[in-house]
């Protein structure tokens, strides 16, 4: 219908993955107002905490740039990461105004936020948004179940290889291929955060990284930059079914 003038500049929208990948599939076309009108951005530095478990959270959000982690902590300090949010992933739960987990930025991070109340209203009034969110939540549940297999049954080496292949795959879809064929990326997590992801100690993470490097499965440039000379070789270390499987 009557297209709203330039109230919502194109460039702004293009940056926000909510529009094209995350919550609102329909927004790929032309009706942006219902999301545009309630959104705003927030930036965080690497290491910063976004909310603590139990804190009031008056917004939901979509990750634009960077990486955020959800972690749980036991009284005695044992920590387990339970969610890793990359660009286009969704943060927060409709109908719950308190965070269930600690949320921290593991790299510099930009969130595209939506105030809770209008977002929930949008959710009730716009069936295709609710359906898209259901689809995303089901994908996250599948990822969580893959993660449970990793935590419960894989060896330290398999855990590392699995983690690297997950990051490599996600990174490839976020950053359209940099070089010709070669698979390379920066780790968005410290060794300690990787340990929290994998249910290991940071020493074991470091040792297994060294071992994979020694065996030529990965090439380490500095501490964080990873090159994968042969992705299939990495996959064969994960313990996963060789053929594509569910994915």
Partner DNA sequence: GTTTGTCCTTGATCTGGATCAAGCGAGCCC
Partner DNA sequence: GGGCTCGCTTGATCCAGATCAAGGACAAAC
Tokens 């910063």 belong to 48
Contact track, DNA, 159-188, x by CB under 7 A: ----------------------------x-
Q: Is 201 in the site for its own copies (CB under 8 A)?
A: no
Calculate ∠ Cα 16-105-205, nearest 5°: 125
Q: What is the largest CA-CA distance in the chain?
A: 62
Residues 36-75 touching DNA, rule: CB under 7 A, are 47
Nearer to DNA, 31 or 146 (CB): 146
Q: Which is nearer to DNA, 45 or 58 (CB)?
A: 45
Give the CA distances from residue 219 to residues 14, 159, 164, 194, in Å, rounded to whole numbers and listed in that order.
Answer: 35, 17, 12, 18
Burial 201-235 (b: 16+ CB within 10 A, else e): eeebbbebbeebeeeebbeeeeeeebebeeeeebb
> Which of these ranges, 29-37, 147-155, 171-179, 211-219, lies near its own copies under the rule CB under 8 A?
147-155
Taking CB under 7 A as the criterion, the residue among 123, 136, 220, 233 binding DNA is: 220
| Binding partner of residue 202 among DNA, its own copies, none, CB cut-off 5 to 8 Å per kind | DNA
Q: Residue 24 carries which DSSP code?
A: -
Tell which residue, 193, 198, 242, has the closest CA to residue 47: 193
d(CA 190, CA 216): 21
Residues that bind DNA (CB under 7 A): 47, 155-157, 187, 190-192, 199-207, 209-210, 220, 223-224
Residues that bind its own copies (CB under 8 A): 53, 70, 72, 74-76, 78-80, 82-83, 93-95, 100-101, 123-124, 127, 130-131, 133-135, 137-138, 140-142, 144-149, 151-153, 198-199, 239-242, 246
């Amino acid at each position: 219908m009557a297209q709203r003038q330039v109230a919502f500049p194109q460039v702004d929208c293009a940056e926000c993955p909510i529009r094209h990948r995350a919550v609102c599939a329909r927004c790929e076309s032309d009706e942006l107002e219902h999301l545009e009108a309630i959104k705003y951005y927030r930036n965080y530095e690497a290491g910063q905490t976004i909310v603590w478990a139990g804190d009031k959270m008056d917004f939901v959000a979509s990750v634009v740039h960077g990486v955020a982690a959800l972690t749980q902590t036991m009284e005695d300090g044992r920590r387990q990461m339970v969610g890793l949010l990359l660009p286009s992933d969704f943060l927060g739960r409709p109908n719950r105004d308190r965070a269930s987990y600690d949320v921290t930025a593991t790299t510099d991070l930009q969130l595209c936020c939506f105030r809770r109340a209008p977002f929930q209203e949008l959710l009730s009034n716009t069936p295709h948004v609710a359906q898209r969110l259901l689809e995303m939540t089901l994908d996250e549940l599948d990822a969580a179940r893959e993660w449970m297999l990793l935590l419960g049954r894989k060896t330290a080496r398999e855990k590392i290889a699995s983690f690297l292949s997950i990051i490599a795959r996600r990174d490839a879809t976020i950053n359209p291929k940099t070089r010709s064929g070669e698979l390379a990326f920066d780790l968005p997590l410290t060794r300690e955060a990787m340990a929290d992801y994998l249910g290991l100690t940071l020493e074991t993470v470091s040792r297994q990284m060294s071992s994979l490097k020694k065996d030529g499965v990965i090439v380490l440039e500095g501490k964080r930059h990873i090159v994968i000379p042969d992705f299939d070789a990495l996959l064969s270390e994960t313990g996963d079914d060789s053929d594509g499987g569910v994915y």
